[in-house]
Structure 1
Amino acid sequence: MQKFYILLCLFFSFSSFVWAKEAVTQYSIEEIQRLGLEANGLVHAARSQVNIAEAGVVSASAFPNPEVTFMAGPDTPRLPFELTGPSSTQRHVTVTQPLENPFFRSARIGSAEAGVEASRANLDQVRADLAAQLRIRAYELLLRQKQADMESSIFDLMEEIQRRIKLSVEVGESARFELIRADTEVMTAASRKEAALLNAERARVALFQLTAGRLQSDFEIIASLNDPVQLPELEELHKQIITTNPDILRLEAEQDRARLRIDQERASVLPSVNILYSNYQDKQFTSNTAGLSVKVPLFYRRRGEIDSAIFDSARVRDTLEYRRYEVNRLLESAWQAMQIAKRRVEMYEGGIIQEAESALRVAEAAFRLGERGFIEVLDTQRVLRGARAELLQAYFELQSAAAEIDRLRAHYPKE
């Protein structure tokens, strides 16, 4: 009884270990995206840019520091002692406090805050681009794996046909030419199988690269090429993109910053004021004086800097308008590509694949009975292979178009 209990515990421990291993090595598309967004160095770099911009707001909000000047030294008499008396030491302390122009300060702080918004939009753009790449690479891996499975099944079929032809040649029922042709087709199928396996491995390596090696070496993707794609209508997507596209938001923040830079340059033309306080002491006297120091922009009123800011604002505004137009066209292009892929999927699933499979089964049965030759089987197999390849490609193009739409509207799982 004790031995049975020990064996039972070992069995459950081993089962738990296997289950845990499978749980670790299986990822959904969203889990892969989250891992990539957490580990990719480009995302970290863009997040650092946000931190730098936020530090710039702190710098822009700071008040100017006062300036203290201290001077001291002995008096050296130039007249006789009877007239000047004994020598003494003097000291002179001057405190200067700049008074910042409130219009200049407000524009500078606003410009720094707009820089933060631009950096955040840039971070969202990096995240959206990476999430779309991860989704496309994950579905590409599924595509390559399906292609490898298809080529493996074709290779197995060619080997089975080669074996049957070899037996027929040995008993004298078929010419040796048929065996040579079968050998050639087997070698061709083996080459395609090997290439498909290598392409699948290449797609796996691409996912490793985008996730900075955070995936397990033997990971599997819990997804399928024919996963349903659920997106809003095109009109709703147009409305979303205007308010969510990171590139548009970044350019809007850049436009605000350029406009505030104009205000900043214009405010800098106003006179700048410094408050002065001076204390002077020697052996006989103590003097306290206060005053103002005004810098008057009389000869140069920063015309070049103001014009430069105006032209830069116009540049950003024109870029923003074009980018809005371009993003809407990219959305329509991705939407049309998705619709085309959907129609191709419906066409191949609606009857082409079934008819090609039925034709191959009939050709194989006729070949076994000796009513048809190897050429008929090979032709029907090629037709089926082409149809399956087109269906897989249509699945992949459908998922790629959906990923592009999600990229344009910055729809991705958050870290």
Structure 2
Amino acid sequence: MRKIFLWSFLSGFALFTGSNYPVLAAGGGYTVTDIQRMGLQANGLLQAVRSQVEIARAEVTSASAFPNPEVTFMAGPDSKRLPEIDTGPASMQRQVTVSQSLENPFVRRARIGAAEAGVEASRANLEQARADLAAQLRVHIYEFLLRRGLAEMESDIHDLMGEIQRRIKLSVESGETARFELIRADTEVMTAASRKEAALLNTERARIALLQLTAGALPPEFNVTASLGDPVELPSLEALRVELSTVNPEILRLEAEQNRAHLRIDQERASVLPSVNILYSNYQDKQFTSNTAGLSVRIPLFYQRRGEVDAAVSDAARVRETLDYRRYEINRLLESAWQAMEIARRRVEMFEGGIVKEAEAALRVAEAAFRLGERGFIEVLDTQRVLRNARSELLQAQFELQSAAAEIDRLRAHYPKE
């Protein structure tokens, strides 16, 4: 009876481990692209970054505005200091003065250009935020699939261990099996229950992380129609290097900031030129009306904005050095992500084409030896644990492959548009 039970258990367990663990539930659900679009539309932090673009556009409007004229009005009575026979009766006087500054065209052009460069920098910053969020969503989606696949595997193992425990208990009660076997079975059930509980909690944590990133746009019990085995298709490394220099948001942002810094230098240097105001004044009292016009010129004789110019030059040097370093660093990040992807791809190929198959073959050999009485149940169970570990490593390698591809897409700002 004991051997019949063990043989039935091993056949069922081998069938379970020999199949691919499903990582998605039956029925419809959300694709990876759907969830990314929902997150890009609903995430509040991304909306805040989008507002920075509108602020930068408003600054262009401010920079393009012409200076307003200044109007000064003064009025008051005359006070007599001599007899009225000499001065005549007292009267009221009033004066209106209008001042209009003539803006330096070089300053104006540089100021508007700097504001427009700020818009480009804000757009690139928004693009970077979108790419970062899309990559986070993709990684968290596949982490959710990984955790769910591991939870399903551990749940099935727990159910099988429970069935073993029940049957061994019957064998112990009938005297066919020593009580030591039941103690072993109890230990296996408790270990499997602990792994199952941890896997379920990790799955729920991954689900909550996705709900957080999508700002609650996903329903609480959502389903994902994707698999850890989804194909990863990317251009060649050389093509990615060429593409990166023209599409990476951080490089584009730093280039816009560099342009803005250079325009700020032009603005500060142009500010050294004399500034001119046109003046017009109308004066009236009881006897006279006077209209006068003139110019007010501010001459930079003592201070020629040397501090502001030097600060602008230093800021431009800072941006240039940052841009050069980030170009180098981003290319290294691309190569690192590419190597990680290739390593993960080779691990997937090794597990799918070699390690898992060898573990399955080892299990079949152990089963045959058990049927012939040459091996005990513990040896077969140990072989089964090796197969389970191999399949867990396969799921982890598939997840690492998807994560590396997500990092490459983040660097190249490749994501589904909103």
Per the normalisation by structure 1, the TM-score is 0.91
Q: CA deviation at 1:51?
A: 0.8
The one-letter code of the counterpart of 2:215 is A
Q: Structure 1, residues 108-130: CA drift from partner, whole Å, max 9, x if none? A: 11111111111111111111111
Matched, 1:200 2:203: yes
Distance in 1, matches of 2:90 and 2:170, equals 128
Secondary structure at the residue paired with 1:221? coil
Structure 2: segments with no counterpart, 5+ residues: 1-24
Aligned to 1:296: 299
Aligned to 1:112: 115
- 2:100 pairs with 97, 100, 110, which one? 97
Distance in 2, matches of 1:200 and 1:287, equals 86
Matched, 1:231 2:234: yes
Distance in 1, matches of 2:363 and 2:204, equals 30
8 Å CA contact retained: 1:238, 1:328 = yes
Matched, 1:77 2:80: yes
The one-letter code of the counterpart of 2:330 is V
Distance in 2, matches of 1:367 and 1:269, equals 95
- Rate the CA distance shift 1:331–1:217 in 2: closer, same or farther, 3 A: same
Q: How does 1:2-17 map to 2 (within 5 A)?
A: none
- Rate the CA distance shift 1:117–1:29 in 2: closer, same or farther, 3 A: same
8 Å CA contact retained: 1:29, 1:135 = yes
Q: CA deviation at 1:414?
A: 1.2
8 Å CA contact retained: 2:28, 2:225 = no
Q: CA deviation at 1:173?
A: 3.2
Q: Structure 1, residues 245-291: CA drift from partner, whole Å, max 9, x if none? A: 11111111110111111111101110000000011111221111110
Matched, 1:397 2:394: no
Aligned to 2:30: 27
Matched, 1:88 2:88: no
Distance in 2, matches of 1:73 and 1:34, equals 68
Secondary structure at the residue paired with 2:109? helix
Matched, 1:273 2:290: no
Aligned to 1:325: 328
Secondary structure at the residue paired with 2:345? helix
Paired residue total: 394
Distance in 2, matches of 1:79 and 1:175, equals 134
Aligned to 2:20: none
Matched, 1:264 2:238: no
Distance in 1, matches of 2:373 and 2:193, equals 26
Distance in 1, matches of 2:243 and 2:172, equals 68
Distance in 1, matches of 2:142 and 2:197, equals 20
Distance in 1, matches of 2:27 and 2:282, equals 75
- 1:188 pairs with 167, 188, 191, which one? 191
Q: Structure 1, residues 25-65: CA drift from partner, whole Å, max 9, x if none? A: 72100110111111111101101111111111111111100
Distance in 2, matches of 1:69 and 1:196, equals 77
The one-letter code of the counterpart of 2:338 is W
Secondary structure at the residue paired with 1:182? helix
Distance in 1, matches of 2:319 and 2:174, equals 82
Distance in 2, matches of 1:295 and 1:205, equals 63
Q: How does 1:173-184 map to 2 (within 5 A)?
A: 173-184=176-187
Structure 1: segments with no counterpart, 5+ residues: 1-21
Q: CA deviation at 1:362?
A: 4.9
Distance in 1, matches of 2:105 and 2:382, equals 82
Per the normalisation by structure 2, the TM-score is 0.91
- 1:349 pairs with 349, 352, 355, which one? 352
State the Cα RMSD in Å. 1.8
- Rate the CA distance shift 1:287–1:25 in 2: closer, same or farther, 3 A: farther
> Mean Cα displacement is larger for which, 392-401 or 374-383?
374-383
Q: How does 1:12-161 map to 2 (within 5 A)?
A: 26-161=29-164
8 Å CA contact retained: 1:178, 1:374 = no
Secondary structure at the residue paired with 1:71? strand
Distance in 2, matches of 1:412 and 1:367, equals 53
Aligned to 1:7: none
Matched, 1:359 2:359: no
Distance in 2, matches of 1:246 and 1:39, equals 21
8 Å CA contact retained: 2:161, 2:185 = yes
The one-letter code of the counterpart of 2:386 is V
8 Å CA contact retained: 1:128, 1:410 = yes
8 Å CA contact retained: 1:25, 1:218 = no
The one-letter code of the counterpart of 1:96 is S
> Mean Cα displacement is larger for which, 111-120 or 355-364?
355-364
Secondary structure at the residue paired with 1:219? coil
The one-letter code of the counterpart of 1:356 is A
Q: CA deviation at 1:382?
A: 1.1
Distance in 2, matches of 1:256 and 1:233, equals 31
Aligned to 1:17: none
Distance in 1, matches of 2:139 and 2:310, equals 46
Aligned to 1:13: none
Q: Structure 1, residues 319-339: CA drift from partner, whole Å, max 9, x if none? A: 000000000000000000000
Secondary structure at the residue paired with 1:223? coil
8 Å CA contact retained: 2:131, 2:414 = yes
Q: CA deviation at 1:167?
A: 3.6
Identity of aligned residues (%): 78
Distance in 1, matches of 2:376 and 2:190, equals 19
